[in-house]
Structure 1
Amino acid sequence: MSAEFSPNSGSLAEARPPPGPLRPVSMTKRSKAMSALPQISVVVPAFNEANSLPTLCRRIDQILTHELGETYELILVDDGSIDNTWDSIQRLTEQFPVQGLRLSRNFGKESALCAGIEMAQGEVVVSMDGDLQHPPELLALMIEKWRETGCDLVEAVKTRAQNEGTVSRLRARIFYKVFSVLCGFDLSGMTDYKLLTRSAREAWLNMPERTLFFRGMTNWIGFHRETVQFQVPDIEDRHSRWSFTGLLRYALRNITAFTAVPLYLFAFLGLFFLFPAAILALDTLRRWFQGVAVEGFTTVIILVLLVGGLNFIGLSVLGLYLGRVYEEVKQRPRYIIRARTDQ
């Protein structure tokens, strides 16, 4: 089951009554609301998002407070930003029910998400990006879907990105296809924009690995899930921060952290070359006993180079997995908190 949100109309696919005028909520009322456990926790990892966070907070507050009447907390995690993101978060705590975390360095989006989700106290947790590519207006549909179906996960699936180039779209398709074949989970169109109930949240937090892949791990835990669809809005002056080498590292990191299938593939390749090698060896011995000169030196060279190349690739894959094991056995924390706004 899925529903769709279009950023062009600024509303849900099924028309809802127009919202009333935006009325300011006093910080006294906000403090009372935050003293009790909130219904909704929204977790937003942010890296150099000082300009977009104020707009994001206003739009989230419009939806959750003024349209839905929900009590909520907004957890903003500064993932080692080098701009004034932390200053922006501190100012936003005076206007909205914001809790801010500042990590000691850039640990990566997955670790920042983990820090925010561990801090969340709401009945449900919503994870979303801070660059406005995840429309806050979709929150209403996600919450409605959760309450109507009683599901444990609501996943926002993007139908298309208006400003996504052909090369970026092709790279994403290749990654999702390879991941699907190797891991058995189809993540096509999936995003980190998700709603998790307390059960799903606890199941995810109980997974102890240090190398995190939020999209894959939330699919692995199972549970009853529903989807809603949305179009990624076209944001001016917004360009992808991912280079080709960065995407390649991201793909290798997540695949090797999520499945051991590549190791089995090289085991099967070894068996595949074992039988032709055995046949060739027997034929060579037969010719030697018959006193017939063995021809085909070029073929031997090609086979040696091919097998040698496969050996190097296999050793590289093995090295990647050993690196994952090394990171896990060190038992270093997923993140380190430098500062909090509530302290």
Structure 2
Amino acid sequence: MNPLEIEVSVIIPIWNEAQHLSQSLKTIVGFIRQATSCFELIAVDDGSTDETWSVLGLARAEIPELEGIRLSRNFGKERALCAGLEHARGQAVIIMDGDLQHPPELIPKMIEQWRSKGVKIVECVKKVRSKETLGYRLGTKIFYGLIHKLARQDLHGASDFKLLDRQVVEAWAKMPERITFFRGMTAWLGFARTELEFEVAPRIGGMTGWNHITLVNLALHAIVAFTSWPLRLVSMVGMISFVLAIILSIQTIYMKIAGIAVTGFTTVILLLLCMNSMIMLSIGILGEYIAAIYDEVKGRPRYVVSQRTWEDSADRDILKHKETDMVNFKTGSYSLSAQNNITL
């Protein structure tokens, strides 16, 4: 399909979902075709260890609009989303999960909202969540509360299920950081948006790839990427400790002069424990930011592609570059090298 004819790209990051992948893709494609006939479906295999890639290849025989990208290893959902966004060619891009927890019946509504209202982002927010443990819900509430207080981004009920206009995708592509948090990045970009509520359905099959450790890591990366308040908190704790130390010193000197000082180690031990705990916590916060800086400075790619389902990937890339050059030529913003490569 000519890139100029693609209206909507749908990106689905997948990991070890061979059990239900074929059924999920057929269901999703059915709803996409209700809204548009000019689309592409991009499935990003995030280093699956089961038969996901084989199932994806078989599914492509039944779904000609399907294109698969296989990453060389498991880079995480955020990096898989980056791969999908950087390969999408549609004028609008929809991101959703492949386990049907994001209801595909909302796809026609999302496209209709984008067409009729002219909004740049159609955000699908969670009205009712699927069955979750009390600890998970409490952790989610604390995390989004911290993001709202520290980074001024209200992400309560937010999800990765959304439609982005081509202008938003191009603006997102200008954000080169390696530590990515897709929900926060799209919220930070701004743009006119509208919301659609949905109920999170149970997984169609398989097990979730998220566990407590990965969720904590995602939360830490999100906080580090979007706010420097923890660093300021370290300074504030230091100032408070300094003031308390002065007050305690004055009290100790007074009690010594008055002859009422009590002999013992309890106070000293408690102070040492408190101060050491604060010092270690402060070092840990600083370490998170230094680690983030280290990852950015290394400049490694966000992901590595090992395979693609389309055979003419080189021709596809050439066509994409020619399309970009043609747009630059029409707008008068092309460079000398672009002029030399344009074929009119």
Normalising by the smaller structure, the TM-score range is 0.7 to 0.9
Deviations 1:290-314 (A, max 9, x none): 4746437422321221111111011
Match of 1:339 among 303, 307, 325: 307
Change (3 A) 1:164 1:279: closer
Counterpart mapping for 1:280-295 below 5 A: 280-285=248-253, 290=257, 292=259, 294-295=261-262
Counterpart of 1:142? 110
TM norm structure 2: 0.84
Counterpart of 1:197? 165
Counterpart of 2:272? 304
Conservation of the 8 A alpha-carbon contact between 1:50 and 1:85: yes
Distance 2:165 2:188 in 1: 15
Counterpart of 1:80? 47
CA drift of 1:283 comes to 4.2
Change (3 A) 1:337 1:158: same
Q: Matched residues, percent identical?
A: 42
Conservation of the 8 A alpha-carbon contact between 1:34 and 1:72: no
Match of 2:238 among 265, 270, 281: 270
Letter in 2 for 1:93: R
Distance 2:271 2:119 in 1: 55
Distance 2:173 2:137 in 1: 31
Change (3 A) 1:131 1:235: closer
Letter in 1 for 2:188: W
Match of 1:207 among 166, 175, 196: 175
Counterpart mapping for 1:9-88 below 5 A: 33=1, 36-65=4-33, 67-88=34-55
Counterpart of 1:157? 125
2:75 match: secondary structure: coil
Task: Name the one with the larger helix percent.
Answer: 2
1:154 match: secondary structure: strand
CA drift of 1:35 comes to 6.2
- Give ranges in structure 2 of 5+ residues lacking alignment: 312-344
Conservation of the 8 A alpha-carbon contact between 1:161 and 1:234: no
CA drift of 1:34 comes to 5.1
CA drift of 1:281 comes to 2.5
Conservation of the 8 A alpha-carbon contact between 1:37 and 1:121: no
In the alignment of these two chains, the number of paired residues is 309
Counterpart mapping for 1:170-185 below 5 A: 170-185=138-153
CA drift of 1:207 comes to 0.6
Letter in 1 for 2:212: F
- Give ranges in structure 1 of 5+ residues lacking alignment: 1-32
Letter in 2 for 1:138: L
Conservation of the 8 A alpha-carbon contact between 2:25 and 2:98: no
Deviations 1:92-145 (A, max 9, x none): 222220111110000010111101110011001111111111111110111111
Conservation of the 8 A alpha-carbon contact between 1:79 and 1:107: yes
Letter in 2 for 1:267: S
